[in-house]
A = this chain, B = another copy of it.
Amino acid sequence: MSKQVTIKQIAQYAGVSEATVSRVLNQPELVSKQTIQKVKDGMDELQYRPSALAQSMRNHTTKTIGVVISNVLNPFFTTLVRGIEDAATKRGYSVIVCNTDENPDKEQRYINMLVDHQADGIILASTGNHANYHSMVNDMPLVFIDRMPQGKDANLYDTVLVDNEKGSFNAVDALIKQGATRVNAIVSPVATTGTERLNGFRKALTAHDFPIREQDIALDDYLGQHTAELALNLIQTNQCDALFCGNNVILMNVLKVLKEWQIGDMKLAVFDDQPWFDFVQYPIISVDQPAYLIGTKAFITLMDRLANPNRPVTHDIVRTKLVIR
């Protein structure tokens, strides 16, 4: 690379000290108009750009945050990330996105990396396999999204979550009101969301005096490798006429099965909404989570925490919206 232009050279050019150049950047009110002009001319002339690295080193703040999620390819997280990035950019922050694939080791490594890089904070969709994040990050601020902190961390950190139970309840309730007589469920066992969504499912059945049969519930593995089998099994052995899917990935796999086996009649509901649901031949009931909003809220929460490390922990629950099709 052609050599970096530093404060030193600007100082030389303008015939002032490095300190003065720095002041022009950070506290221009302390510098005379004339000097400011000279220095600015130098900066323009030499195309000066301050080294963010050196600044971070001195100021102990990197203007960088980490976002640790399971997978950007999941459109829920894609949108969430975009929300974070937009909010971050507006405030001069950069974001580093980390995909754990629900693997606790990967999560651990990424968090270490972010600590090494002195990120100013982390927004985290926890895998749920670590119960003491605090010991990993020292006093770096953490905001939990999508999944609740567990164990020791439980009341230590700010959260931005959705009401999984209520959303699921509404979806299953809608299914039944549309005439479903036997609703089965496939959910992912990931962290706290799986359980909560299942609770909603159960409560909706109960509310309609439907029996709860454990055989009507399938727990997916996260990677979705066996979702298809599970779905087929439910459909064939239970003769269910409606299926509640715990997330959009599960729904996708269910659709594959329905197509392959040419099953034309099935009521479907899913937690999380996607635009293309409109174009599928089945009328899909979905629970729309405001992913983008969750992202911006999480970022703002993090900024608040940074500005005021001692303020009480906040727990934000955002509203979901039922989409009937």
Contacts and interface: CB of A to CB of B under 8 A. Distances in A.
Contacts of A49: 112, 115-116
A256 interface: yes
A73 B79 contact: yes
A313 interface: no
Contacts of A116: 49-52
Copies of this protein in the complex: 2
Contact of A81 (B72, B113, B118): B72
21 contacts: A1-B138, A49-B116, A52-B113, A52-B117, A53-B53, A53-B57, A54-B57, A64-B96, A72-B85, A73-B82, A85-B97, A85-B98, A85-B99, A89-B98, A94-B113, A255-B276, A255-B278, A256-B278, A276-B279, A276-B280, A281-B281
A252 B75 CA distance: 15
A24 interface: no
Given A1-B140, A89-B98, A252-B276, 14 more contacts: A49-B115, A52-B116, A52-B117, A72-B78, A72-B82, A73-B79, A73-B82, A81-B97, A255-B278, A256-B278, A259-B278, A274-B276, A276-B276, A276-B280
A75 to B, nearest CB: 7
Interface string A255-296: 110010000000000000011101111000000000000000
Interface in A33-74: 49-54, 56-57, 62, 64, 71-73
Contacts of A98: 85, 89
A118 B278 contact: no
A139 interface: yes
B94 A95 contact: no
Contact of A117 (B53, B97, B255): B53
By Cβ-Cβ distance, the 5 closest A-B pairs, closest first, are A1-B139, A52-B116, A52-B117, A276-B276, A279-B280
Contacts of A2: 138-139
Interface string A123-154: 00000000000000011100000000000000
A86 B72 CA distance: 11
Report the contact-size class of chain A (Cβ under 8 Å from the partner). 35 or more
B118 A52 contact: yes
A73 B78 CA distance: 6
Nearest to A109: B89
A150 to B, nearest CB: 22
A95 B114 CA distance: 12
B281 A252 contact: no
Contacts of A72: 72, 78, 81-82, 85
Nearest to A66: B94
Contacts of A138: 1-2
Nearest to A106: B89
